[in-house]
Structure 1
């Protein structure tokens, strides 16, 4: 699928004490040119807000009070990353009426679940801190967040190390009548993730129900980029030429890399 996109590059919240540690993500934003290298393979959807951070890009749906997608490039790790920041806070780049806050999660069932993973995005303090903006969170069951989803996050870093560079795309999926927490924050019914290897031009895709699931069950939820696009209304890898895009997007693996 192809369409023209308009990228609005927005600088993230400045955090003092940034350092030059080189871990997985590198500085992919060029404010002077308006380019966002986390979107070099295409913008998945022209969402209400398209934001480019140091370590990831995000498309936010105001009505859902949720990101529809995140996109980030992971390189091979060359040194330890910075410590986890844990500074959850509202995203001031989201219009105030559509922001979520940590207070929305003051209920007994769901945790604040990252879409762009904080352990993967740990090159600098600022990059890691920006993963704790609430626009990057969805209400997630601990038995999903700390099990199958965490297992997949571990694999994305392993594949980046093994392959040298990968693109990670991820997001939530909602039913027509989702559950809500806090101030009308919807709970996803499923999650998707696509990991693309640009050197080999191959992708692995997952659509995972939002249930308490184990990492060992990941093979049950292998999908294709085509299925992810059709199910969630996305256009992934749109910068590839038509032949390469069609070939990559129809891939459906029987087992993981």
Structure 2
């Protein structure tokens, strides 16, 4: 393939902006784009812009391992781009407990959201570039806690379904050489009660009127060998609690996301050579039951005594997941180990 969307190295955030479809290699070039587009008008009427052309309300920013564009009016990102691999997500160097949510020092205060905007709002602080993708570097993880990377997100969605989608991306990075992920908020129209008109309605929170998106999108591009086609999947998920629903239920075309965001992504990608991610890989995400079983496996494995093991197993049976064979086998092995040592 002549041009690939992911033509940058993980960690080289400056190259990310160009790779995701803005056709630029430096964020500052994007920030200057409005001036560049209108320089002829400026020359034609110097009096009109003698004190400078108005700055766009969208600004571009690069960090240690991700890049984004930020809506200074809505106080949330437009999109956040990252490139992850196996080493990044399996390392244990960075600790989430060391990171703190804070305003982005790159932005003037009047364009920032604050932690107090979220406090008591009923909405959680939802990462677009998740902290769990950056276990290899504390600075990279810290960057994800800047509020330029955060949107107001339904708490159940954040810790549940969306977390499962993020986990799927990390699992992909263990099976593919490189995984590009672009995430962001959407504000989609809805019909009124009479079904005659459509409106875009959304809540704002805090003194800074931080916009609450109606939906979230995620674009995933997984690549392996240079001679194999990249796998592409685009998804739009409602910003609300979601039970165990297949990710394919939320799959849309890349063009659908582009239409709603007004942004062309992966502009150098030959889309005729791309394969459907879900058709090839399945797009299977963990269900609530899967997460429960994984949690109980860790607790069974960590049980330090027979009494502690039986307490955990009692919870397993109460949850109705004791029929899972790997979990049941692990319990039996642990029980036999305690019995042989007594």
TM class by smaller structure: 0.7 to 0.9
- Kept after mapping to 1: 8 A contact 2:17/2:68: no
137-146 or 226-235, which deviates more: 226-235
User: Residue 174 of structure 2: SS of its match in structure 1?
Assistant: helix
Q: In the alignment, which residue of structure 2 is the partner of 1:191? A: 216
Query: Equivalent residue for 1:148?
Result: 161
TM-superposed CA distance for 1:217, in Å, is 3.5
Aligned-pair distance for 1:26?
4.2
**1:55 corresponding residue in structure 2:** 65
Question: Who is 1:21 aligned against?
Answer: none
Task: List gaps (5 residues or longer) in structure 1.
Answer: 1-24, 30-35
Alignment of 1:161-240 (within 5 A): 161-175=174-188, 176-182=200-206, 183-199=208-224, 200-214=229-243, 216-240=245-269
Cα distance in 2 between the residues matched to 1:70 and 1:98: 18
Report how far residue 106 of structure 1 moved: 1.0
Give TM-score, length-normalised by structure 1.
0.79
Q: Which has the larger radius of gyration?
A: 2
Residue aligning to 1:42: 20
Report which structure shows greater RCO (CA 8 Å, sep ≥6): 1
Note if contact 2:277-2:283 (Cα within 8 Å) is conserved in structure 1: no
Matching of residue 82 in structure 1 with residue 94 in structure 2: yes
Distance 1:230 1:27 in 2: 29
Q: Indicate the residue corresponding to 1:256 in structure 2.
A: 283
Alpha-carbon offset, residue 226 of structure 1: 1.4
Q: Distance in 2 between matches of 1:215 and 1:73?
A: 27
Deviations 1:114-171 (A, max 9, x none): 0111100232111100100011111111111011110000000000111121100010
Considering fraction of residues, name the structure with more strand.
1
Tell me how far 1:172 sits from its aligned partner.
0.2
RMSD over equivalenced CA pairs, Å: 2.3
Conserved? CA contact 2:154–2:240, under 8 Å: yes
1:238 touches 1:245 (CA, 8 Å); kept in 2? no
* TM-aligned CA distance change 1:96 to 1:174, over 3 Å: same
Deviation at 1:86, TM superposition (A): 3.1
Which residues of structure 2 form unaligned runs of 5+? 1-8, 24-29, 31-56, 189-199, 285-342
CA–CA distance in 1 between the matches of 2:244 and 2:140? 27
Matches within 5 A, 1:8-23: none
Structure 1 Cα separation of the partners of residues 153 and 121 of structure 2: 12
TM-score between both structures, scaled by the size of structure 2: 0.60
What displacement does 1:51 show? 0.6
* Structure richer in helix, relative to its length: 2
* Alignment of 1:158 onto 2:171: yes
Matched residue count: 223
CA distance in 1, matches of 2:107, 2:243: 33
Match of 2:331 in 1: none
